[in-house]
Amino acid sequence: MKKIDAIVVGAGVVGVTAALALQQRGLKVIILDQGPPGQGCSFGNAGVISPTGFPLSAYYRAFNLPTQLLKVSSPATVDWASVPRLLSWGIKYAKATRPDEVRRDTALLHELARHALSSYELLLGADLPPINRRGYLLVHLSESEVRRAISSNSIRTSHGAAVRLLSNAELVEMEPVVRGLRTGATFVEQAAHVTDPAAFVGSLATVFVQRGGLLQCERVLTVESKTNGDVIVRGARANYFPSMVVLATGAYVNQLLVRCGHKIPLIAERGYHVELDVEPGFIRRPITLPSLGAVLTPSERGARIAGLSHFGSPGFKARTQLLSSALERIRKRIPALKPRFGCQIWSGERPATPDSVPIVEQVPAHCRLFVVTGHGHAGLSLGAVTARILADLVTGKVSGYSSQLSSERFG
Ligand SMILES: Cc1cc2nc3c(=O)[nH]c(=O)nc-3n(C[C@H](O)[C@H](O)[C@H](O)COP(=O)(O)OP(=O)(O)OC[C@H]3O[C@@H](n4cnc5c(N)ncnc54)[C@H](O)[C@@H]3O)c2cc1C
């Protein structure tokens, strides 16, 4: 058998970018996934590559979280059957809502997101698939939302992001469809988007293969790491003996960590999308409606509505009705937004850490086993950024991020 330097388990946006970064450092890499690339959570995101980022704890504070989760019209809810398994995560989340923690996590997320696009450029060079660089809009639906936006925008600006409040005339000129929503809008200039996130990941995987990588369909059953450092990946079809393993299985990472005695605080935060019955060009850039927890985003067929936060333990049952109800509320303001005939509501599980900051680490006491996950709402934005941090870690290059992105930060 040919020598394998590294196996990356998981071909979502995080795993494929990680594999590309390791390959760039001269390693022979195989990606194993139970299905084609980009069919997990990375399939149906809103396609935004954002240069800024806030943790969820900046929006849902510990004291108002129960009300938010119970309110019928809230964009956030919980799978009640999962609650007993979410308690320890919930305690860590509550700690992450302390003002000093929110400030620290906001600064770190902005610092990482600032390199979102340039990291893709560094990884892909001339092979970078098409990315639309038209910014994105946050539309504010009430005067109180505008006031909150002014304060968030000053934080974005203090971290170096180019954002500005638009006049109504500017907003309608940019996106005539939001004519009926004109209370105010923020324009995030350096944001970009892709119109087909799954195809984007597929193209990255193609580049990985063209550069000599192997992509194999394999469901990984267990990962064992011996005291002498050897790692064995046992798959449904074959066993593998690489020099090192990177787990990038999104919300499901803990399943493969069981035999290593390590567990990271990670839950699944389901989001949903549905294709809308509109033509391509209906909107030119993603339009976020923060108070409704949804993003109206350009897609190959026209546009999608994507979003919501439905918390549970990995594998919990989806409730597509949540998106149908949210869409009904949005249609009161933009009646043209009907689901496309015959299109099902899709849902995917975001890997969510308590502080919304990803985890990139070497598994304690297992020197050849690494984890990269926990990107929550920002996997497409931060995929290439964390890939480069992971490659530094794996190749022993000193990085200032080792403690900030390690799961040991939760104690
Ligand atoms: C509605 C919605 C909108 C979003 N919008 C945005 C956005 O606009 N911008 C942004 O940056 N982010 C967005 N996100 C978040 C982003 O999609 C996620 O952070 C990202 O997809 C996580 O990628 P991942 O590679 O970690 O996980 P996944 O894409 O889930 O990949 C994990 C892979 O591991 C594989 N796997 C799991 N277990 C095994 C096993 N045992 N053996 C083999 N393979 C296995 C799965 O098949 C899967 O392919 C959104 C998410 C949702 C749900």
Which helix (H) or strand (E) covers residue 379, if one does?
helix 379-394
Ligand 1 geometric centre to CA of 348 (Å): 7
Give, using CA atoms, the residue closest to atom 48 of ligand 1: 40
Residue 111: phi and psi, rounded to 5, are: -65, -45
Ligand 1 geometric centre to CA of 98 (Å): 28
Residue 228: its pLDDT value, please? 84
Residue 2: its pLDDT value, please? 58
**Spatial separation of the C-alpha atoms in residues 270 and 282, rounded to whole Å:** 27
Q: What is the mean pLDDT of residues 18-30?
A: 98
**Spatial separation of the C-alpha atoms in residues 350 and 130, rounded to whole Å:** 24
In ligand 1, the atom with minimum distance to the C-alpha of 16 is: 25
Give, using CA atoms, the residue closest to atom 35 of ligand 1: 10
Give, using CA atoms, the residue closest to atom 15 of ligand 1: 377
**Spatial separation of the C-alpha atoms in residues 310 and 251, rounded to whole Å:** 13
At residue 182 the predicted structure's pLDDT band, cuts being 50, 70 and 90, is: low
pLDDT tens by residue, 78-97: 999 999 999 999 999 999 99
In ligand 1, the atom with minimum distance to the C-alpha of 39 is: 49
The percent of residues above 70 in pLDDT, for the chain, comes to 99
pLDDT tens by residue, 31-42: 999 999 999 999
The percent of residues above 90 in pLDDT, for the chain, comes to 85
Query: Does position 257 have pLDDT exceeding 70, yes or no?
Result: yes
Query: Does position 3 have pLDDT exceeding 60, yes or no?
Result: yes
In ligand 1, the atom with minimum distance to the C-alpha of 197 is: 17
Q: What is the mean pLDDT of residues 318-329?
A: 95
Architecture of the structural domain at 6-42+199-264+356-410: 3-Layer(bba) Sandwich (3.50)
CATH 3.50.50.60 domain range(s) in the chain: 6-42+199-264+356-410
Q: Higher-confidence residue: 66 or 344?
A: 344
Give, using CA atoms, the residue closest to atom 37 of ligand 1: 249
b/e 188-222 (16+ beta carbons within 10 angstroms → b): bebbbbbbbbbbbbbbbbebbeeeebebeebebee
Residue 155: alpha-carbon gap to chain centroid: 21
Ligand 1 geometric centre to CA of 376 (Å): 9
Give, using CA atoms, the residue closest to atom 16 of ligand 1: 379
Ligand 1 geometric centre to CA of 41 (Å): 3
**Spatial separation of the C-alpha atoms in residues 3 and 13, rounded to whole Å:** 25
At residue 19 the predicted structure's pLDDT band, cuts being 50, 70 and 90, is: very high
In ligand 1, the atom with minimum distance to the C-alpha of 255 is: 41
At residue 340 the predicted structure's pLDDT band, cuts being 50, 70 and 90, is: very high
Give, using CA atoms, the residue closest to atom 26 of ligand 1: 250
| DSSP reduced 3-state for 272 | strand
Residue 84: alpha-carbon gap to chain centroid: 25
The position carrying tokens 């979102």 is 116
Give, using CA atoms, the residue closest to atom 27 of ligand 1: 250
58-67, 178-187, 372-381: which is most confident: 372-381
DSSP 233-244: EEESS-EE--SE
Ligand 1 geometric centre to CA of 57 (Å): 21
**Spatial separation of the C-alpha atoms in residues 168 and 163, rounded to whole Å:** 16
In ligand 1, the atom with minimum distance to the C-alpha of 32 is: 43
Query: Does position 345 have pLDDT exceeding 80, yes or no?
Result: yes
Query: Which residues does residue 352 pair with via DSSP β-bridges, in sequence order?
Result: 267
Ligand 1 geometric centre to CA of 147 (Å): 33
Q: What is the mean pLDDT of residues 168-188?
A: 87
Query: Does position 154 have pLDDT exceeding 70, yes or no?
Result: yes
pLDDT tens by residue, 138-151: 999 888 999 999 99
From 249, 287, 353, give the residue whose CB has the most ligand 1 atoms within 8 Å, as the site to mutate.
249
242 in Cβ contact with 7 (< 8 Å): yes
Query: Does position 74 have pLDDT exceeding 70, yes or no?
Result: yes
Which helix (H) or strand (E) covers residue 207, if one does?
helix 197-210
| DSSP reduced 3-state for 93 | helix
pLDDT tens by residue, 373-402: 999 999 999 999 999 999 999 999 888 898
Ligand 1 geometric centre to CA of 40 (Å): 5
Ligand 1 geometric centre to CA of 378 (Å): 10
From 33, 270, 319, give the residue whose CB has the most ligand 1 atoms within 8 Å, as the site to mutate.
33
Q: Which of these ranges, 58-72, 135-149, 304-318, has the smallest mean pLDDT?
A: 58-72
126 in Cβ contact with 203 (< 8 Å): no
Residue type, 324: S
Total Cβ atoms within 10 A of residue 8: 34
From 42, 43, 245, give the residue whose CB has the most ligand 1 atoms within 8 Å, as the site to mutate.
42
Residues 6+ apart with CB under 8 A from 393: 360, 361, 362, 370, 399, 402
Q: What is the mean pLDDT of residues 175-185?
A: 82
Residues near ligand 1 (Cβ within 6 A): 9-15, 32-35, 39-42, 44-48, 219-220, 248-250, 252, 271-273, 306-307, 348, 350-351, 373, 375-381
Give, using CA atoms, the residue closest to atom 20 of ligand 1: 379
CATH 3.30.9.10 domain range(s) in the chain: 54-98+132-192+266-350
| DSSP reduced 3-state for 231 | strand
Residue 5: its pLDDT value, please? 95
Query: Does position 1 have pLDDT exceeding 60, yes or no?
Result: no
At residue 68 the predicted structure's pLDDT band, cuts being 50, 70 and 90, is: confident
At residue 294 the predicted structure's pLDDT band, cuts being 50, 70 and 90, is: very high
Residue 313: its pLDDT value, please? 98
Indicate the average pLDDT of the chain. Answer: 95
Cα separations (Å) of 149 from 190, 240, 289, 367, 379?
Answer: 17, 51, 12, 44, 23
Give, using CA atoms, the residue closest to atom 22 of ligand 1: 379
Q: Higher-confidence residue: 402 or 349?
A: 349
Enter the DSSP assignment of 205.
Answer: H
Instruction: Give the fold, CATH level 3, of 54-98+132-192+266-350.
Output: D-Amino Acid Oxidase; Chain A, domain 2 (3.30.9)
249 in Cβ contact with 255 (< 8 Å): yes
Residue 291: its pLDDT value, please? 85
pLDDT tens by residue, 196-228: 999 999 999 999 999 999 999 999 999 999 888
In ligand 1, the atom with minimum distance to the C-alpha of 308 is: 1
Question: Token pair for residue 91?
Answer: 């305690």
Length of the chain: 411
pLDDT tens by residue, 52-63: 999 999 998 877
From 30, 350, 371, give the residue whose CB has the most ligand 1 atoms within 8 Å, as the site to mutate.
350
45 in Cβ contact with 193 (< 8 Å): no
Over its C-alpha atoms, the chain yields an Rg (Å, rounded) of: 21
Residue 73: its pLDDT value, please? 82
